[in-house]
Amino acid sequence: MILLRVAMRSLLGRRITVALTVFTIALSIALLFGVEKTRVGARTSFADTISDTDLIMGARSGSVQLLLYSVFRIGNATNNVSWQSYQEIVDRPEVEWAVPISLGDSHRGYRVMGTTAEYFDRYRYRGGRQLEFAEGEPFDDLFDAIIGADVAQALEYQLGDDIIVAHGLASFSAHDDHPFKVAGILEKTGTPVDRTVIVSLEAIEAIHVDWQGGAQILGQSTSADVLRQMKLTPKAITAAMLGVNSKLQIFQLQRAINEYRQEPLLAILPGVALQELWEIVGVAETALAAVSAMVVFTALIGMMAMIFSGLNERRREMAILRSIGARPSTVFTLLLMEAAAMTLAGIVFGIAILYTILWIVRPIIDARFGLYLPLEPLDLREWKLLGLIAITGALVSIAPAIRAYRLSLADGMSIRM
């Protein structure tokens, strides 16, 4: 206890230098665990891009490729799924619900997706959250369009504004004879839905009635009123989201789709495909964690440098302690206790900074980027990491403590000119 009081008084005597060192350690701790919380939040949000969907069906390709174009709207399908095959799969007894998806067109760099109104009920993200409308409602008219939050913000769209859909992804051909009207704007989700223009499956067929071979038939333009009266059953779709009656039937249905004889199809489990995709794109999280760990290590090295630089100023203090009977091992222990105290203070202060910042910014980050950062207590792994940092903080003081241990009484009491 006496040695602890001596260490505390010594630290208080150098309060400015000590405070700056503790603050540096605290900031590095906050950065390290802030990156860790962000990494976990990003991974969780990524894994929850789509939830409560048992299977995704598309043309046979690769699981990651199917996931990319059906969920993330990246890339293109190798082929389409015929409507007849889709209907046969949907009619199977295992299937509880199905939502078809048709891709191929775009609007000013954003993907246009054709689907049914059931999409707004069945698409779930972040552990079962449902899509919500910031304004408007699901499409009612053939040429109604629902836009994601990013589309609305970037293009400054409001309800009732006209949207011209372009043919293909990088095409100068536009379906300007059949403009869509913004009927709804979705809340921010942090998923690819935010960057999507959603129209009905029939609307995709309607705007292509007068098109053939990727171009509009010269001089032919069917009016919107006539199109509304037509039976616009699609010939093919790009993919489909499927839900089964029982979780025990998932693999049975997946096998049936993968072995479908009429055309080559593929069914994937979204969670498994997301994990595969994360292994590809998640390399950055390891780099971030490594950089943050180096920041903490640098802060601890800075503390060691501070102790080293202070030894010359504390020669007389060390000599006085030795003169009143303190053994060299006592001086050694004193410096270790000071380093441990600064490290622990930095850890406590850093965790306080971390949770304060999280409490302030998490609703902003969630609203703007759709990145959910849970405000949860530290888990066992994080406690172990803090323990490792505390031990390391004490260990980095060994070198200056050894030097102080070797300082002689005569050296401490002598006056250097």
Token pair, residue 149, equals 């939050």
Cα distances (angstroms) measured from residue 240 to each of 149, 243, 295, 400? 23, 10, 46, 66
Task: Tell me the pLDDT of the chain averaged across its residues.
Answer: 83
Quickly state the pLDDT bin for 122 (edges 50, 70, 90): very high
How much helix, strand and coil, in percent to the nearest 5, is found in the chain?
55, 15, 30
Asked whether residue 307 carries a pLDDT value surpassing 90, the answer given is no
Strand 180-186 with 144-147, pairing: parallel
Asked whether residue 132 carries a pLDDT value surpassing 60, the answer given is yes
Greater pLDDT, 184 or 74: 184
Strand 110-115 with 265-268, pairing: unpaired
* DSSP labels, 303-358: HHHHHHHHHTTTHHHHHHHHHTT--HHHHHHHHHHHHHHHHHHHHHHHHHHHHHHH
Strand 129-130 with 55-59, pairing: unpaired
Greater pLDDT, 329 or 179: 179
Asked whether residue 412 carries a pLDDT value surpassing 60, the answer given is no
Q: What angle do CA 386, 47, 365 make, to 5 degrees?
A: 65
Asked whether residue 294 carries a pLDDT value surpassing 50, the answer given is yes
* DSSP labels, 355-377: HHHHHHHHHHHHHHH--------
Buried b (16+ CB within 10 A) or exposed e, 133-162: eeebebbeebbbbbbbbbbbeebebeeeee
Asked whether residue 341 carries a pLDDT value surpassing 50, the answer given is yes
Quickly state the pLDDT bin for 282 (edges 50, 70, 90): low
Query: Taking residues 357-366, what's their average pLDDT?
Result: 84
Half-sphere exposure of 336 (CA within 13 A, CB side): 14
Q: What angle do CA 237, 240, 244 make, to 5 degrees?
A: 145
On whether the CB atoms of residues 285 and 43 are closer than 8 A, the answer is yes
Q: What is the pLDDT of residue 304?
A: 73
Quickly state the pLDDT bin for 296 (edges 50, 70, 90): confident
Cα distances (angstroms) measured from residue 146 to each of 42, 178, 199, 238, 297? 26, 16, 6, 19, 50
Ranking 36-45, 154-163, 222-231 by mean pLDDT, the lowest is 36-45
Query: Taking residues 341-347, what's their average pLDDT?
Result: 86
Asked whether residue 408 carries a pLDDT value surpassing 60, the answer given is no
The CA distance from 154 to 170, in Å, is 19
Q: What is the pLDDT of residue 116?
A: 94
Among 11-15, 323-327, 333-337, 356-360, the range of highest mean pLDDT = 356-360
Report domain extents, the chain: 2-46+283-413, 55-268
Quickly state the pLDDT bin for 370 (edges 50, 70, 90): low
Query: Taking residues 281-297, what's their average pLDDT?
Result: 72
Greater pLDDT, 250 or 310: 250
Per DSSP, 222 falls in state -
Query: Taking residues 391-399, what's their average pLDDT?
Result: 79
Quickly state the pLDDT bin for 155 (edges 50, 70, 90): very high
Asked whether residue 417 carries a pLDDT value surpassing 50, the answer given is no
Asked whether residue 330 carries a pLDDT value surpassing 90, the answer given is no
Token pair, residue 295, equals 């920041």
The CA distance from 392 to 302, in Å, is 13
pLDDT in tens, 19-68: 888 888 888 888 888 887 877 777 777 778 888 999 999 999 889 899 99
On whether the CB atoms of residues 163 and 145 are closer than 8 A, the answer is yes
Task: Count other Cβ atoms within 10 Å, centred on residue 126.
Answer: 18
pLDDT in tens, 65-88: 999 999 998 888 889 999 999 999
Which three-class secondary structure state does DSSP give residue 196? strand
Q: What is the pLDDT of residue 384?
A: 87
Largest CA distance in the chain: 107
